[in-house]
Structure 1
Amino acid sequence: MKLHAMELPSLGKKKALQYTPKIVLLLTLYLILHTLVTFCYPLSSTSFLWKTSPPSSSSSSRAASIISSYTKIMSKTCDISRGGWVPNPGGPYYTNATCWAIHDHQNCMRNGRPDTDFLKWRWQPDECELPLFDAAQFLELVRGKSLAFVGDSVARNQMQSLICLLQRVAYPIDVSYTQDDKFKRLKYTNYDFTLASFWSPHLVRAKVSDANGPTLDHLYLDEFDEQWTAQIEEFNYVIISSGHWFFRPSMMYVAGQVVGCNHCLKKNVTDLNMFYAYRKAFRTAFRALNDLKKFKGMVFLRTFSPQHFENGSWNEGGNCDRKRPFKRSETQLEGHNMELYKTQVEEFRAAERKGEKRGLKYRLLDTTRAMLVRPDGHPNHYGHLPNENKNFYNDCAHWCLPGPIDAWNDFLLYVLKMESEHGDEKFYQSERKLKIR
């Protein structure tokens, strides 16, 4: 016979006392469970968690499961870069209508994208749980600090995602020193937190040819790009990333002299591939940070974000029409994606060893594998309004907002939280042993 709460008063005093410990135990388990769910999944309600995780047979097993998950969250050996995308019916956590920071060419919903399934996934590491982004927690961790994104438009894409995620808690004011949108500074005054972006698609000093004529970028591979290196000393966190611009034809210089080119078709000029320039550029960018005497911040490398053009290249009608993530068995990191990934991680590790000697911290945001399997998250032909009378290429390089790129800031918050709670050496000894795959 089941005992209902309403039946308790009709029992004798002796029997009531027999049941009281059981009721107290059940209530205690419920309170522990509710507290842990709120802490581990601040953006999710309890009912949402039960919807996405099959209910277990008892309250005690549910509590044990969540305690186990929490232990894994705090694991010091978890490689969050290895995992898969799992359904997330509760997403996304902002929309194109609620966030002002989304540029038109990443505003896929505004531009008529009819499907929304690509918004209903979250990244799940194999070895632990990756909590969804908690804006209040992030802002507390960066209170009184500053963070800069250095790189190309994909770097700016991540910054816009971060602004949209933080908007659940706070809005910034614009404190930019220029009207150029490629160099933005925003201030979250209630947290004394500054967020900035520095446009440097090649990370080094470069001159880009007139867009109306034949494009040939001139890359000075051993020279700092002072548009960001001259201003970066004050920042507590610097996120470096770049990639897609190195596919363009370029002339390469070292010590002021031409050393080769990539797809330039010039007589008497050595044809060097893009990987030569890519390695040199990252080496110089990291050297710039290590050489800045007053820089005491933490350096992040956000790894290469693969493109997903199919049925042709970007200028030959290529598209990215897929509506779901790849399964792990459907694709792998190979070819130029693997080469770019390996190159930047190798240069990152070399710079890390040098930086440690003067007390700098280097941290990896290894997002490459997570994004390799998300061909469904790009603007494609929804990077503009359907009635715009212009010639547009399909965009399979940037990411829709909201979209899979929001997970990059889940990665960022995870690393910041681990740094705050565990310090550097113990947690990152295992991370440094991860092999390039």
Structure 2
Amino acid sequence: MGFSVDYSCSLFYRTQSASKKTTIFRSVNATLVTLSFITLLGVTIIIMCSLRNFSTPNLSFRAGIDFHRASIRGRIHSRKENYKEESFSGKWVYDQTYPLYNASNCPFVEPDLSCETNGRPDRAYTHLKWQPNEYSLPVFNASKTLSKLENMRVAFVGDSMGRTQWESLVCMLMEGVTDKQSVKKLKQDGNIKRISYLGAFFSNFNLTIEYYRAPFLVEKGTPLKGVSDRIKAAVRLDRLVSSKFKWQDAQVLVFNSAHWWTPKKIFDKDSYFEISGNINISMNIEDAYELALKTWATWIKQNVNPMKTRVFFRTYEPAHWSNDISPRSCSLHTNPIYPVSDLEGQFGKLSNILEKVVHEMKYNVTVLNITMSSGYRVDAHVGSWSTSPSILDCSHWCLPGVPDTWNELLFKLLNLQQLKTSLLTAHSVLGK
């Protein structure tokens, strides 16, 4: 039929000359339509690619990409945009393939965390698997994970919860080892609750899994001379923990710090904050925590090579005490409890500070959000099933148990194959 403008032209131009003009006009019009279609198609492709990038961002380890996974809100931040990614909300479901290991067969589990060995009668808490709302956690395959971790170092740096995650991962990986004797305990230097270093070496894979004790991530020591006698210790907010050069070159770093940032752990022990050699007795915990994290962030950016190391920071794990006075008590349960209450108190503030500092780093740090999932698990704490049953513990976790899920989430976010590729590229570029 043709375009209406062409039909109008035929009414006015009857001569041969008009016919030629019409032909030219139609040719030009067709060209314009074709160009318009190509332009529209190009714009459409650009928009679709942009939408794809926003809905399924590439979280793989690459130098120069600075996506930061936020904590409580389950968001990812880039330099220019904020957008929602896969949520860390979900529920616990029964799975008969769990637990992933037997604590009594893993020599790396500290006695106080082996609840079944210490007489806990129920087993339901060991058969629960975390099911996120927006994706499924892959089945953890110890053998394949060991192969992908070959020739690497994985280091956990933080408080006793970081130590528990270290114990959990070592036990999970040992399920993929035929010769258990090939997994060696590295030198330890004291009581496990105060120990500064723990290590497991998987000799068949040249793989080392390590833990460095650093409850504050920054140094804590005796104050300088001349301060009041009532000040027994100083948390040095501008000095990162001294073990930093030992874990600096690990291929995977997992940090945590929250449970010691409380009045009971600081002020009640006559400890105060120190900056540039000066004690500040009026500084509150939130401000001090932010300064400590900024010290950590600055050191990481200046000293950890993003082409060779993947950095994670794990959010806090809720305790489930019934009160906060001594002696503390806790209600022992046999099932998870929904919903979680009181997560926005002291630790909620610290999580927001962590999110802010990581977002401002402009460095590839992934915040591993385990707060909500762990908050449901009032059934999974040590309780009275430790080697000292008269002392309740509703902070630490039974093994196997919740910390295994932290490691499953860790490996969900850690693309080991791309990490290996990045390492090979880094060695090639740096000539090492």
**Fold shared, TM-score > 0.5 on shorter chain:** yes
1:204 is displaced (CA, Å) by 0.4
Q: What is the 5 A alignment of 1:269-280?
A: 270=282, 272-280=283-291
Shift of 1:385: 4.5
CA 1:407–1:309 in 2, change beyond 3 Å: closer, same or farther?
same
- After superposition, the CA RMSD in angstroms is 3.0
The number of residue pairs the alignment matches comes to 325
- In the other structure, the counterpart of 1:36 is none
Deviation at 1:322, TM superposition (A): 1.7
Is 1:220–2:236 an aligned residue pair?
Answer: yes
Q: Is the 8 A contact 1:229 1:289 kept in 2?
A: no
Hey, what does 2:303 align to over in structure 1? 292
CA 1:381–1:179 in structure 2 vs 1: closer, same or farther (change >3 Å)? Answer: closer
**TM-score, length of structure 1 as denominator length:** 0.68
1:321 to 1:381, Cα distance in 2 relative to 1, 3 A: same
Q: Could you tell me how far apart the structure 1 residues matched to 2:391 and 2:163 are?
A: 20
CA shift for structure 1 position 103: 0.6
Say whether 1:383 aligns with 2:386.
yes
Instruction: Quote the Cα distance in structure 2 between the aligned partners of 1:74 and 1:362.
Output: 15
| 1:256 alignment partner AA | G
Distance 1:320 1:101 in 2: 28
User: CA 1:251 to 1:160, structure 2 compared with 1: closer, same or farther past 3 Å?
Assistant: same
Go from structure 1 to structure 2 and tell me whether the alpha carbon gap of 1:259 and 1:385 turns closer, same or farther (over 3 Å shift): closer
Is the contact made by 1:303 and 1:345 (CA closer than 8 Å) also made in structure 2? no
Partner residue, 2:42: none
Q: Which residue of 2 aligns with 1:145?
A: 152
Question: 1:129 and 2:140 equivalent?
Answer: no
Equivalent of 2:400, from 402, 423, 429? 402
1:423 positional shift: 9.2
Q: Give the conservation status (yes or no) of the 8 Å contact 1:149–1:155.
A: yes
Q: 1:4-403 alignment to 2 at 5 Å? A: 79=86, 81-170=88-177, 171=180, 172-176=183-187, 178=189, 181-207=195-221, 217-226=233-242, 228-247=243-262, 248=265, 249=267, 250-260=271-281, 270=282, 272-292=283-303, 296-310=308-322, 312-313=323-324, 315-328=326-339, 330-331=340-341, 333-351=343-361, 353=362, 355=363, 361-386=364-389, 393-403=391-401
Q: CA deviation at 1:182?
A: 2.9
1:293: Cα distance to partner? 6.3
The AA in structure 1 aligned to 2:261 is F
C-alpha separation in 1, matches of 2:86 and 2:139: 16
How far did residue 302 of structure 1 move? Answer: 0.9
Contact 2:231–2:272 (8 Å) recurs in 1: no
User: Does the CA-based 8 Å contact 2:196-2:212 persist in structure 1?
Assistant: yes
Q: Is the radius of gyration larger for structure 1 or structure 2? A: 2
- Quote the Cα distance in structure 2 between the aligned partners of 1:74 and 1:291: 26
Q: Which residue of 2 aligns with 1:434?
A: none
Deviation at 1:364, TM superposition (A): 2.1
For the residues of structure 1 that align with 2:138 and 2:165, how far apart are their CA atoms? 18
1:22 — aligned with what? none
Structure 2 CA distance for aligned equivalents of residues 318 and 216 of structure 1: 28
Preserved contact between residue 154 and residue 253 of structure 2 (Cα < 8 Å):
yes
Please give the alpha-carbon distance, in whole angstroms, between the structure 1 residues aligned to 2:222 and 2:373. Answer: 31
The runs of 4+ residues in structure 1 deviating greater than 6 Å are 72-77, 421-424
Q: Which residue of 1 aligns with 2:39?
A: none
Paired residues of 1:91 and 1:120 also in contact (CA < 8 A): yes
1:239 match: secondary structure: strand
SS in structure 2 opposite 1:198? strand
- Partners of 1:92 and 1:215 in 2: CA distance: 46
Matching residue's letter, 2:143: A
Percentage of matched positions with identical amino acids: 25
Structure with larger RCO (C-alpha < 8 A, sep 6+): 2
**Aligned-pair distance for 1:325?**
0.8
Structure 1 residues 111 and 145: alpha-carbon distance in aligned structure 2, compared to 1, 3 A threshold:
same
The alpha-carbon distance between structure 1 residues 157 and 345, as it changes in their structure 2 partners (threshold 3 A), is: same
Secondary structure in structure 2 of the residue aligned to 1:331:
coil
Q: Deviations over 1:47-82 (max 9, x none)?
A: xxxxxxxxxxxxxxxxxxxxxxxxx99997862522
Give CA-to-partner distance per residue, 1:169-207, whole Å, 9 cap, x none: 124213337567430222212212111111111100102
2:145 and 2:231 map into 1 onto residues whose CA distance is 41
Give the residue type in structure 2 aligned to 1:406. D
Residue 313 of structure 2 aligns with an amino acid whose one-letter code is L
- Structure 1 window deviating more from structure 2 (338-347 vs 155-164): it is 338-347
Partners of 2:189 and 2:196 within 8 A in 1: no
Alpha-carbon separation, structure 1, partners of 2:405 and 2:253: 18
Secondary structure at the aligned position of 2:329 is classed as coil
Residues of 1 paired with 2:289 and 2:391: CA distance?
25
Alignment partner of 2:410: what SS? helix
Q: Where do 5+ consecutive residues of structure 1 fail to align?
A: 1-71, 261-269, 356-360, 387-391, 425-437
Q: Which amino acid aligns with 2:350?
A: L
